Chains A and B, each alone.
Chain A
């Protein structure tokens, strides 16, 4: 699918719940970061222990995980 992302974004119940408390400005920044992540434009830094396969990217007040 040409309009699709390189990766599939999966969102947890806790993420959806936390989303409700965010300002529209923070949501926009979050959108920007996840968009980059799903397009494969950002690699991210690995987490530790059992989550070595997960990555985190940093942005002011934004943390996004990718498996």
Chain B
């Protein structure tokens, strides 16, 4: 991350700092400079406010978002812009901000945010370096398991709204409730992320078994531990 970008980020007051989705759409400096992000944020504001008022309803609100054509068009364009402009380091930086936001309130969501970050960085890496294979994997998944693909989209946008709401939270109670809901959804997101990773690995032949462990001694040998 450049010194210029760091200076811009630190100059933005918390009320104006936010994320558009977990990581990929989230570069705070760009948000302030971009009409597209500003329009999207303004459009999403009522959704975010409702999630802030009732985090447990995040999934239901995300389903409404998925039926909102205007929101989807804006999100689609914002995602394209983010993929073009963001690097992994930018995404990591956004999550450092989120860690700090919860951390200063002594709310432990470290593992939860790490799960979401891992998903975001992995996805960004696939889109930038392995686009065809990643998209075909996702197409295969979506056509063979349409209900799960929809569930994944709901979880993904629920998390996006919760993270956006965390930037707007004013009290400990609000942040805590958001963190608890993020915890539940991150577990689901992780199951999808690992499924996608395995699907790609299998295609590349990375799932070939090269060692087995039937006893504690064999396990220690495989893992190279004492």
Interfacial chain B residues near A63, Cβ < 8 Å? 190, 194
Which one of B6-14, B39-47, B56-64, B215-223 contacts A?
B215-223
Q: Which of A1-34 contact B (CB under 8 A)?
A: 1, 3-5, 8-14, 16, 19, 24, 27-28, 30-31, 34
Measured as residues with beta carbon below 8 angstroms from the partner, the interface class of chain A is 35 or more
Task: Number of B interface residues at 8 Å Cβ cutoff, please give it.
Answer: 35
How far is B224's CA from A24's CA once the two chains are assembled, in angstroms? 9
A-side residues, CB < 8 A to B, are 1, 3-5, 8-14, 16, 19, 24, 27-28, 30-31, 34-35, 38, 45-51, 54, 56, 58, 60-61, 63, 65
Chain B binding site: helix, strand, loop or mixed by DSSP?
helix
Question: How many Å from the CB of A15 to the closest CB on chain B?
Answer: 8
A7 CB to closest chain B CB (Å) equals 9
Which of B18-26, B80-88, B141-149, B165-173 lies at the interface with chain A? B141-149
Contact B144 A50 (CB under 8 A): yes
> Which B residues are CB-close (under 8 A) to A58?
111, 187, 190
